[in-house]
Amino acid sequence: MILSKKTRYAIVALTRLAREYGKGPLQIREISETEKIPQSFLENILLELKKAGILGSNLGKAGGYYLLKRPEDVSLAEVVRHFEGTISLMYCVSENSYRPCEFCKDENTCQIKKVFKEIRDSTNAILARTTLRELIKNKRKKN
Q: Tell me, what CATH number does 58's domain have? A: 1.10.10.10
Closest among 56, 48, 58, 39 to 79, alpha carbons compared:
48
Give me the residues paired with residue 55 across strands: 67
- Residue 25: predicted pLDDT: 94
Q: pLDDT tens digits for 17-68?
A: 999 999 999 999 999 999 999 999 999 999 999 999 999 999 887 789 999 9
Q: Which of 67, 101, 119 is the last residue of a domain?
A: 67
Domain tally, the chain: 2
Regarding whether 128 and 89 lie in a shared domain, the answer is yes
Q: What 3-state class would DSSP assign to 67?
A: strand
Closest among 73, 64, 68, 76 to 10, alpha carbons compared:
76
Q: pLDDT tens digits for 61-89?
A: 778 999 999 999 999 999 999 999 888 88
Regarding whether 90 and 32 lie in a shared domain, the answer is no
Structural domain boundaries, residue 80: 73-142
Regarding whether 103 and 56 lie in a shared domain, the answer is no
